[in-house]
Amino acid sequence: MSAKTLEICDVLRASTFDYIFIETVGVGQSEVEIIGLADTVVVTLVPEAGDEIQALKSGIMEIGDIFVVNKMDRAGADLFAAGIIKTLHERPAQGEWVIPVLKTNASAYEGIEELLESIHAHSKTATANHRLSLIAERAYRLIQHGRMKDVNVKELKAQLESVFEEKDFNLYQFVKKII
């Protein structure tokens, strides 16, 4: 997490508001970093917008405490919500919290009460251990990314070309030499 993000985190935590909502602009790295700041992460997606592919690719499915399919009046919303539920069943359990997948239509104020109830319920059950696990996972990814920065696939391929046909070639020994 950047120094700027940590500074913002300190300011927000010092505020006197009951709830602070932070909206991010997409499903990129900075959005995944929200886990270091938020007590409850609500991932809001809409059907027919390509969010299915983006959500699965970005790793955002791993950070949501609550998932919302907004614009539930659109065609495919039920199928989309069912797909999210199926994906979440493949995710390891997080204690007693069962991750809800809610459908809303914000412009018509439908499903908003259920969403607020879920946010409130999660804030009661969220544990420090859960947040610590998420932050540890993020730290692991940042370390992994940092260590892989100087690995060039073309150079790696060139190194492999010279040794992979040897009789006693062992991929794990090869990698161990590089690490």
pLDDT tens column, 146-164: 888 888 889 889 889 888 8
Give alpha helix (H) positions in the chain: 3-14, 29-32, 51-58, 77-89, 112-125, 128-148, 153-161, 171-178
pTM, to two decimals: 0.63
Every domain range in the chain assigned CATH 3.40.50.300? 3-126
Distance CA 175, CA 179 (A): 6
Task: Write down the pLDDT at residue 117.
Answer: 94
Q: What six digits make up the tokens of 42? A: 């609500």
Distance CA 111, CA 105 (A): 7
105 — phi, psi (to 5°)? -135, 85
CATH architecture under which domain 3-126 falls = 3-Layer(aba) Sandwich (3.40)
Distance CA 69, CA 83 (A): 11
Please state, for a pLDDT cut of 90, what percent of the chain lies above it.
17
pLDDT at 131 over 70: no
111 DSSP assignment: S
Please state, for a pLDDT cut of 70, what percent of the chain lies above it.
72
pLDDT at 48 over 90: no
Task: Write down the pLDDT at residue 109.
Answer: 94
